[in-house]
Amino acid sequence: MKDSHALRARIIATALAMNAQGINRGKSGNVSARTDDGFLITPSALPYEDTKPADVVAVDRGGNATGRRKPSSEWRFHRDVYAARPEVAAIVHAHSPFATALACLERGIPPFHYMIAVGGGSDIRCAPYATFGTQALSDHAVAALHGRRACLLAHHGMIAVGATLRSALALAIEVETLAEMYWRAIAVGEPALLPEDEMARVVARFEDYQA
């Protein structure tokens, strides 16, 4: 996609929707979209309400930023996910409460519910902890997203990716919903897990719907 005013406006709208939908608060989290020569990402340290299209930062594939603002401190994992995953065109990163609470226990989400397959596989992994903004965190995130469209980040938050901003945001909301259900289930007992062959059937169905 071309860097355009419209795309920049859609990135801001997605970031605002993230907060309105309750999966993020304040200015933690960030949103990006792939462009022809890199990606556009929400700026660092600016509330989304005050962000204008010209504040969205263009970052090229080498990690060089242009614009009047600094890119979100997490630009590295956005760059590396786009490099590793040609099918991904949008990334949503949030510190959503339930997903982050599980991530603070260093727990991913196992197949306790068939909807786990929206993430592209039979679980949603939790990437090991590394300091925010570092290459180590980016490497962990890319590995946890292998064969998946979402992951948790230990002691930090979650990432959801998609072919569009709309699908990445919808997935982030779904992951937070699943995290809340799992949280509630494990508060009462240990939920039984769906077997691998059943999850494989559900994943295949989901890929069918999306095709």
Q: Which residues bind Zn ion (CB under 5 A)?
A: 157
- Closest separation in Å from C-beta 73 to Zn ion: 8
- Closest separation in Å from C-beta 206 to Zn ion: 27
First and final CA of the chain: distance in angstroms? 21
Q: What are residue 157's phi and psi, to 5 degrees?
A: 175, -140
Residue with Cβ nearer Zn ion (70 or 205): 70
- Closest separation in Å from C-beta 95 to Zn ion: 6
Q: Distance (Å, rounded) from C-alpha 105 to C-alpha 108?
A: 9
Residue with Cβ nearer Zn ion (150 or 194): 150
Q: Distance (Å, rounded) from C-alpha 194 to C-alpha 142?
A: 26
Residue with Cβ nearer Zn ion (6 or 136): 136
- Closest separation in Å from C-beta 115 to Zn ion: 24
Question: Could you give the strand order of the β-sheet that contains 57-60, starting from the edge strand earlier in sequence?
Answer: 65-66, 57-60, 38-41, 30-35, 90-94, 157-162, 150-153, 126-127
- Closest separation in Å from C-beta 153 to Zn ion: 7
Identify whether 74 is a catalytic site residue. yes
Q: CA gyration radius for the chain?
A: 16
Residue with Cβ nearer Zn ion (71 or 157): 157
The gap from C-alpha 115 to its chain's centroid, in whole angstroms, comes to: 17
DSSP code per residue over 101-156: HHHHTT--B-SSSGGGGGGTSS-B-EEPP--TTSHHHHHHHHHHTTT-SEEEETTT
User: Which one is catalytic: 74, 180, 196, 207?
Assistant: 74
Nearest residue relative to Zn ion (C-beta): 157
Residue with Cβ nearer Zn ion (121 or 157): 157
DSSP code per residue over 38-51: EEEEPBTT--GGG-
- Catalytically active residues are 74
